[in-house]
Structure 1
């Protein structure tokens, strides 16, 4: 894919999204029907690109947490470091508004490699966010559904996510179960 004559660099191969068995294995119900290749009128779902620095990606993330001042150079260095992981360990998916050329939704699948289960990999879904102007268009559901299917496609034996108690019913629609006796704990090195 090229943008203004410049070849675009994706975080991972876009073909992975196109090859998902979405219609056969999606977890959520969509009315109207949408999917990874048709996320809605004037919208495109694709892997994160280095050019998303200029398309409001970091601003979108501020809806979740503090982002801080990140220069273009810092963004590109982190992006390239993520691209270089082999096999791919980072799968950030974005939804772009084709008219405004702004990133309006995003979520990330992180693939962790382990020694347990015969050197299996586990997936974690993080940073699910949709711009408030675009909420109600099923984009959050689509992002979670896509990354859930992608986790299986890239060889994860399980996938998990962290959520607030009030979000448990939403994520339950995708087959996520709050496991008995499991607690999430965190030690922070910087303030929230």
Structure 2
């Protein structure tokens, strides 16, 4: 499978990303305008596109580039799953040049995805720390 790694999305690819989000329970309510705004505010974007510029994989990272980074929205287009692209997307994120010196990288995932992310050293062992949320 041949694809290119890009760090920004075209207008059409943003539409494709919004469509991908609609197929996932965790992002089904995201609207195009909000997705476009989200992309502008993301520090790092990693996307896989085919030679025809079709979006087939995506993730984004928020970071201070020193102490913390959080990987969000690791997603592969359903027709391209089970081809190892999710692992390649994670490799690209973890090995991104701007993240090499970052002290800690975090992500959110479903329990059944934990073994996948553990391959890159992610763990639920965070000591006494607890994650807290404030919903609006």
Extract unaligned runs of 5+ from structure 2: none
**Which segment drifts farther, 54-63 or 130-139?**
54-63
Please tell me whether residue 107 in structure 1 is matched to residue 59 in structure 2. yes
CA RMSD of aligned residues (A): 2.5
Q: TM-score, normalised by structure 1?
A: 0.58
Measured after TM superposition, the shift of residue 186 of structure 1 is 2.6
Please tell me whether residue 178 in structure 1 is matched to residue 124 in structure 2. yes
Change (3 A) 1:102 1:126: same
Change (3 A) 1:181 1:165: farther
Does the Cα contact within 8 Å between 1:123 and 1:158 map onto a contact in 2? yes
d(CA) in 1 for partners of 2:106 and 2:130? 13
Q: Which residue of 1 aligns with 2:49?
A: 96
Between 1 and 2, higher relative CO (CA 8 Å, sep ≥ 6) is seen in 1
Please tell me whether residue 54 in structure 1 is matched to residue 35 in structure 2. no
Higher alpha-carbon Rg = 1
Change (3 A) 1:78 1:161: closer
Measured after TM superposition, the shift of residue 181 of structure 1 is 4.4
SS at match of 1:188: coil
SS at match of 2:46: strand
| Matched residue count | 129
Q: Which residue of 2 aligns with 1:63?
A: 23
Extract unaligned runs of 5+ from structure 1: 1-39, 83-88, 114-119
Q: Which residue of 1 aligns with 2:88?
A: 142
